[in-house]
A and B are shown apart, each in its own frame.
Chain A
Amino acid sequence: MTMTAQTASLATPVSKSLRRKRIRGSSIAVLVFLAMWAAFVSIPLYVVIVTSFKTMDQVALGQVFALPTEWTFEPWRKAWSEVCAGMTCEGVSHGFWVSMKILFPSLLISIGISSVTGYALALWKIRWAGTFLFILFLCAFVPFQIIMIPLVVLISSLGIFGTIWAVAIVHSVLAMPLLTLIFRNFYKDVPEELINAAIMDCGSFWRIFFEIILPMSANIMIVVLILMITTVWNDYLIGLVFGGVGTQPMTVILANTVITSFGEVQYNVDMAAALLTAIPPLIVYFAVGKFFVQGITAGAIKG
């Protein structure tokens, strides 16, 4: 009230107060939207978290929003090492290690190859580079489901179907078009004179890559790492299709755990298993998330 009284005495009171009101109106809309979105995400999350700490006796009461009357880590322990997925009963821990074993080769292959390809496309004069880029661009938008069955045939003929390598290689290959485009876009901002200087100094494709270009790539590496870790870790379909017995990633084990039940459904254990599966990407986000934004916005050369 005092605010409007003050502005009224100014030269252009009407327009000023109008603009202020409009800002307030739109920010209310934004706040409402954000609040709804937050509720939409956090209410189920809250239920999952509290349920994972409840005893089965309390779960059976059906009060999903109630806090645990008696906090217990038992569901977490069971989920990690005892719960049954299909025939085997060794918890999601086995899946965790399988996921890890899939993750590292996937990262290495996909980032290794696509960074070099992106570097070659961006900084070396390559015949048909434009055409190649366009094809990559198209490939990046082909849904996995369309090529899934031919891929199964292909991978089987390589004799690695059902192994960790099958899952890792499929992940790498599918990620490569997008990653190559990301790397190429990053490297094309490297000044032409810089690469010319390196060519005159040394001329070796690999030495220039490892000594000059790669050390400049920290920002984009973090972006690509986070991108790949989350896609590979959260993937279900590729792991389900290409993983065999004992080589299925954590997400597949989780799903099997939830499906498999003997008698009473152990909601608390299921929730704990789900949380265990979701935690690793979260840790990555918290650890390097702030570099992610920095990496997306920064170019190859600092100011």
Chain B
Amino acid sequence: MPEIEFNNIVKRFGRVTVLEDLNLQVDDGEFLVLLGPSGCGKTTLLNMLAGLQEVTGGSIVIGGRDVTDLDPKDRGLAMVFQSYALYPTKTVRGNLKFGLSVQKLDRAEIERRVAWAANLLQIDKLLDRKPAQLSGGQRQRVAIGRALVKNVDVFLFDEPLSNLDAKLRTEMRLEIKQLHQELEKTIVFVTHDQVEAMTMASRIAVMNGGVIQQIATPDEIYERPANLFVAQFIGSPAMNTLKATVERADGSVSAVHAPTGARIDLSAYSFSAAPKDGDAVIVGLRPEHFSIGCNGHADAGAYFSLPVRYTEKTGSDVTAFLDSGDGGLIAVRFDHKHHHVPKMGEMVEIHFPKDRFDIFDAASEKRI
């Protein structure tokens, strides 16, 4: 049963339309990540769910109850904000308690919940400090604690990790994931960081320009991106895309990439709609699926021999950017234990496995 439903949501600011007829369902106990570039409407969507912004059209249902016209505090939600938004003049304890004092709970219950959340997030020793006396990571924990004590069924996070340094971000990612597994509550988590989305989500909704591009599990999003935007947004470095023309000859399907003259064997690709001879397509090749070196593979669906423009080394991984002939670059990622790091201008041979292509229609940019 869906816990949250967005039905035909429209949002306009004056004459600017941010969201147009958006539909989305979040299942009970799910960790849904809204992923998309800045300005695509993620915060707007979350704020409308929280009741902080009004919808222009459509309805929002939480737990079977239409909350479209309900006040934020009556929607049974808790939210963690990007800037933490702790009350600066209250102590940590005061911050945690403020949301409870309106719930008409007795004193003992309030103390019990504060102690529980403080213990869970290891902030018990900080309870009497003011936010200004806390580090970024500690403030983040308090912000999460302030949401947890409310004991609601749905938690909203708006880019909560983007103000933390890389190490803390990785730690908090794990902690939030663990909290979700422990508490089994529904979480809607907004981020523009694909790593956060891929590591935490049970499902990801990829958004662009106010439109949901695809909703699926992280694996599905990665393996079978629904369109070119999703394909290029997910994965680092981004997926290589080559414009090619379909050639059909006695039962076999292939695509020819004119600048390199490479023939890409598509016979192992399962088309949802088979292309005709001469159709323009975009072939997606993830940098990490290439194998590098001259020892050819039997299952290779594409072969290139191209000069290196430059290389980037990140730990054990190397990304080589090869000149694809038409001014574009083909990124190839490999482990430098298996192959030496090529020098600039050096010709390298790369192979791409038959069953790993992503094919998109050149006009609609949808997966075919």
Of B73, B82, B89, B132, which one neighbours A203 at CB under 8 angstroms? B73
Shortest A199–chain B CB gap in Å is 5
Residues in B neighbouring A211, C-beta threshold 8 A: 87, 90, 98
Of B74, B85, B90, B132, which one neighbours A302 at CB under 8 angstroms? B132
Q: In this assembly, does A63 line the interface, its C-beta being within 8 Å of a C-beta of chain B?
A: no
> Contacts A203-B73, A204-B102, A302-B132 hold; do A196 and B89 have CB atoms under 8 A apart?
no
> Contacts A199-B52, A201-B73 hold; do A207 and B85 have CB atoms under 8 A apart?
no
Of B52, B88, B90, which one neighbours A200 at CB under 8 angstroms? B52
Shortest B104–chain A CB gap in Å is 12
Number of A-B contacts (CB under 8 A): 68
Are A193 and B72 in contact, CB atoms less than 8 angstroms apart?
no
Which residue in chain A gives the minimum CB-CB distance to B47? A196
Name A185-212 residues within 8 Å CB distance of B. Answer: 191, 193-194, 196-204, 207, 211-212
Residues in B neighbouring A193, C-beta threshold 8 A: 81-83, 85
Q: In this assembly, does B184 line the interface, its C-beta being within 8 Å of a C-beta of chain A?
A: no
Which residue in chain B gives the minimum CB-CB distance to A302? B132
Of A191, A194, A201, A302, which one neighbours B99 at CB under 8 angstroms? A201
Are A199 and B72 in contact, CB atoms less than 8 angstroms apart?
yes
Are A199 and B85 in contact, CB atoms less than 8 angstroms apart?
no
Which residue in chain B gives the minimum CB-CB distance to A196? B52
* Size range of the chain A interface in the assembly: 10 to 19
Please measure, in the bound complex, the distance between the C-alpha atom of A301 and the C-alpha atom of B98, giving whole angstroms.
Answer: 19
Q: In this assembly, does A216 line the interface, its C-beta being within 8 Å of a C-beta of chain B?
A: yes
Residues in B neighbouring A199, C-beta threshold 8 A: 52, 72-73
Please measure, in the bound complex, the distance between the C-alpha atom of A194 and the C-alpha atom of B81, giving whole angstroms.
Answer: 9
Q: In this assembly, does A215 line the interface, its C-beta being within 8 Å of a C-beta of chain B?
A: yes
- SS class of chain A's interface: helix, strand, loop or mixed? helix
Are B87 and A200 in contact, CB atoms less than 8 angstroms apart?
no
Please measure, in the bound complex, the distance between the C-alpha atom of A301 and the C-alpha atom of B87, giving whole angstroms.
Answer: 10
> Contacts A193-B81, A200-B78 hold; do A215 and B72 have CB atoms under 8 A apart?
no
Are A197 and B85 in contact, CB atoms less than 8 angstroms apart?
yes
Please measure, in the bound complex, the distance between the C-alpha atom of A197 and the C-alpha atom of B90, giving whole angstroms.
Answer: 14
Of B78, B85, B146, which one neighbours A194 at CB under 8 angstroms? B85
Write the B78-113 contact mask toward A (1 if CB under 8 angstroms, else 0).
110111011111100000001101100000000000
Which residue in chain B gives the minimum CB-CB distance to A194? B85
Q: In this assembly, does B312 line the interface, its C-beta being within 8 Å of a C-beta of chain A?
A: no
Of A194, A197, A203, A302, which one neighbours B102 at CB under 8 angstroms? A203
Q: In this assembly, does B66 line the interface, its C-beta being within 8 Å of a C-beta of chain A?
A: no
Which residue in chain A gives the minimum CB-CB distance to B78? A200
Q: In this assembly, does B277 line the interface, its C-beta being within 8 Å of a C-beta of chain A?
A: no
> Contacts A200-B52, A203-B71 hold; do A215 and B78 have CB atoms under 8 A apart?
no
Please measure, in the bound complex, the distance between the C-alpha atom of A147 and the C-alpha atom of B269, giving whole angstroms.
Answer: 84
Of A196, A203, A207, A302, which one neighbours B88 at CB under 8 angstroms? A302
> Contacts A216-B88, A301-B88 hold; do A200 and B83 have CB atoms under 8 A apart?
no
Q: In this assembly, does B283 line the interface, its C-beta being within 8 Å of a C-beta of chain A?
A: no
Write the B218-229 contact mask toward A (1 if CB under 8 angstroms, else 0).
000000000000
Shortest B130–chain A CB gap in Å is 10
The listed residue with most B CB atoms (<10 A of its CB), out of A199, A200, A202, A203, is: A200
Write the A133-169 contact mask toward B (1 if CB under 8 angstroms, else 0).
0000000000000000000000000000000000000
Shortest B233–chain A CB gap in Å is 26
Q: In this assembly, does B50 line the interface, its C-beta being within 8 Å of a C-beta of chain A?
A: yes
Shortest A244–chain B CB gap in Å is 44
Name B43-76 residues within 8 Å CB distance of A. Answer: 47, 50-52, 71-74
> Contacts A203-B73, A207-B102, A302-B132 hold; do A198 and B78 have CB atoms under 8 A apart?
no
Are A201 and B82 in contact, CB atoms less than 8 angstroms apart?
no
Please measure, in the bound complex, the distance between the C-alpha atom of A197 and the C-alpha atom of B74, giving whole angstroms.
Answer: 14
Residues in A neighbouring B197, C-beta threshold 8 A: none
Are B73 and A202 in contact, CB atoms less than 8 angstroms apart?
yes
Shortest A192–chain B CB gap in Å is 9
Q: Which residues of B contact A (CB under 8 A)?
A: 47, 50-52, 71-74, 77-79, 81-83, 85-90, 98-99, 101-102, 132, 146, 150
Q: Which 4 pairs across A and B sit closest by C-beta, in order of nearness?
A: A201-B99, A203-B73, A215-B89, A193-B85
Return 23 A-B CB contacts under 8 Å, by A number.
Answer: A191-B85, A193-B81, A193-B82, A193-B83, A196-B79, A196-B81, A197-B87, A197-B146, A199-B72, A199-B73, A200-B50, A200-B51, A200-B52, A200-B72, A200-B79, A200-B99, A202-B73, A202-B98, A203-B71, A211-B98, A212-B87, A216-B89, A302-B132
Starting from the known contacts A200-B50, A200-B72, A212-B89, 5 additional A-B residue pairs (CB-CB under 8 Å) come to: A193-B81, A197-B79, A199-B73, A200-B51, A211-B87
